Amino acid sequence: MVNAPTAVTALLPVLLFALTGLALLLIDTIRPSGRSNTSMAVVSALGSLGALGATAWLVVSGTVGVDAGAVRLFADTIAVDTMALFFIAIFASVTALVVVAAHDYFHDHANPAAFYSLVLFATTGMALLAVANSLAVVFVALEMVSLPSYVLVAFLKQNRGSVEAGMKYFLVGALSSAIFLFGISLVYAATGSLLFGDVAEAVGSLDGLAGVAGLGIVMIVGGVAFKTASVPFHFWAPEAYEGAPAPVSAYLSSASKAAGFVVAFQLFTEAFPVGASVGANIDWVLAFGIIAAVTMTLGNFAAAVQEEVKRMLAYSSIGHAGYALIGLAALSAGGQANGTVMGAAMAHLLVYGFMNTGAFLFVAMAERWGVGRTFADYAGLARRAPVASTAMAVFMFSLAGLPPFAGFFSKYFLFQAAIDNGFVWLAALGAVNSVISLYYYSRVVKALFIDDPDSPSALDAIDVRPTALYAAVVFAAVATVLLLPGFGPVIETAEAAASALF
C-alpha cells in the first residue's frame, strides 16, 4: 500500500494543474476589478512550468522510473509510470506556450480568467488520463478534457464561426462519448472488471463472451479515433480548428491529440494486449492499421487542396494522427520491436507538440495583425516580420519531415521501427505521404519569403508587435531546433517507457 506522502508526490503534476486552475478562479472572484490579462497569463504559465518541473523531478529523483516501476494508487485505479510522465511533459509544454500566446491574443477580452482556467482544467483532465489505470477513470478524465474544450472552441461569443464550431464539436463529441461509454460497459459485462490488468487477464479466456468484448473494443477504438481526429471520426477537426481562436486550435491539435494517444497506448497495451486479443479473435491491430493508412492519406490530400493556412494545418494535424497511429498499427504478438515502434510514436508526438503548436501560434499572430487567412494574404510577411517568418519556416520544414529538422528524425525512427516489426507497407505509405505534405508546407514558406503582397499597405498592421505571441512562437522554434542534438535522449526515454509496457 502506498502511503499518503508518496501518493501526493506521485500526483504532484496533476495536482499543480488543478490547483493553478482553482487559483485563477479564486483571483478572479476575490479581485474582479484588479484582475488583469497579464496576471492570469503569468499564473497559468508558472503553474504549467511548475508541473513540467515536477514531472522532471519525479524521474530524476527515482520516485517513478523504468526500474522503480509504476506508483499505483487508489486501489490500482491510478498508475503513475514513465509513459504517463512523458505525456504530462508534452501537456505542460504545450499549455505553457498557449497561455503565454493568449496574453496578446485575448488582450482586449472582458474575462480572460475564464479562458486560462478552462485551459488548466482541461490539462488536468489530460494529466489524469495519462495516469489512469481503470476504464472508469479514463471516461471521467476524457469528460474533464472534453467539456472545457467545447467551451474553448466557442470562446469568442460574438464570432459566429467560433460558436458554430463549438456547437458542431459538442454534438460530435457527445456522440463519441456515448459510443465510448457503451464500449466500456460491454467490456465490463464480458470481463467483470474495469482495471486494466484484470481486463487483460480476462480477455485471454472469454469463451462465449468474445463477441461482446469484441464489440466493446470496436466502440472504444471509435472513441479513441474521435479524440485523435482519425478517420472516420475526423470531420469535426477542420471545423473546430478553423472556427476556434488560434491558440485554442494550437492547444487542441497538439495537447488534446496527445491525450487521445496516451489513452490509446495505455488501453491497447495494458487492457487489451495484442497477444491476448488476437487469441480471442479480436484483431484491433488490423483496425488501427487501416485507420492509420486512411487517416494519413486523407489528411495529406485534403490539406494539399486548401487555400486557407489555418484549415490546411487542421487537415495536416489529421495526417500526423495517422503517422502516430503507426505506434499501434505496427504492433505484433511477441514482436521484439513493439516497445521501439511505440516509443518512436511517443517521440514524434513530443516533437509534433512544439512544431504544430508553433505553427498555429504563428497563425494567431497573423490573425492579431489582421493580414488575412489565405496563402496569398501571407505574401511578403518575411520582409516585416523576419524572425517570426523564419520560425514558421522551421515549423513547416519540420512538419514535412525534411532533414536536418527534428520532424525528420522522429519520422525516421518511427518508420524504421515499423519496418523492423515487419510493417514495411505502413512505413512506405508514411514516407509517400510525407513527400506529399512537402507540397503544401512549402506553399507557406514560398508565400512568406518569395511572393509579393497585393499592395504595400497590406503589411502596415505588422508594425504592432505582440510580444508574448512573438516569444511563444520563437521559443517553440528554438525548442524544435534544440530537439536535434537532444533527440537521442528523447527517443531513448520514450522507448524505455514504452518497452516497460510489454
Structurally, the chain folds into a number of domains equal to: 1
Per-residue pLDDT of 256-287, as tens digits, reads 899 999 999 999 888 888 766 665 667 788 88
C-alpha cell at 106: 485575448
* Residue 359 CB contacts under 8 Å (≥ 6 apart), including other chains: 250, 313, 392, 395, 396, 399
Per-residue pLDDT at 122 exceeds 60 = yes
Cβ(242)–Cβ(308) under 8 Å? yes
Scan for cell 456515448, then name that residue.
178
Q: What is the pLDDT of residue 128?
A: 94
Range of the domain at 443: 294-502
Is residue 405 in a domain?
A: yes
Per-residue pLDDT of 433-456, as tens digits, reads 999 999 999 999 998 888 877 766
Question: Beta strand pairing status for 78-80 and 71-73?
Answer: antiparallel
Is residue 178 in a domain?
A: no
SS3 80: strand
Is residue 21 in a domain?
A: no
Is residue 466 in a domain?
A: yes
Strand partners, 73: 78
Is residue 379 in a domain?
A: yes
Is residue 16 in a domain?
A: no
Confidence bin at 197 (pLDDT 50/70/90): confident
Is residue 472 in a domain?
A: yes
Is residue 424 in a domain?
A: yes
